[in-house]
Amino acid sequence: MLKKSGSYLLLFIFIGGLLGSILGEILQVVAPQGTVQNIFIQALNLGLDPPVTVNLVLIKFTLGFLLKMNLLTVLGMFLGAYVYKHV
Nearest Cα to 25, choosing from 76, 78, 83?
A: 76
> Does the model's pTM come out above 0.95?
no
What tens-digit pLDDT sequence spans the chain (87 residues)? Answer: 557 788 899 999 999 999 999 998 898 888 788 887 788 778 888 998 889 999 999 999 999 999 889 999 999 999 999 999 988
Residue pair 45/66 in contact by the 8 Å Cβ criterion: yes
pLDDT, residue 1, reads 53
DSSP 8-class letter at 3: P
Residue 32 preceded by cis peptide, ω within 30: no
Domain ranges of the chain: 6-85
3-state secondary structure of 54: strand
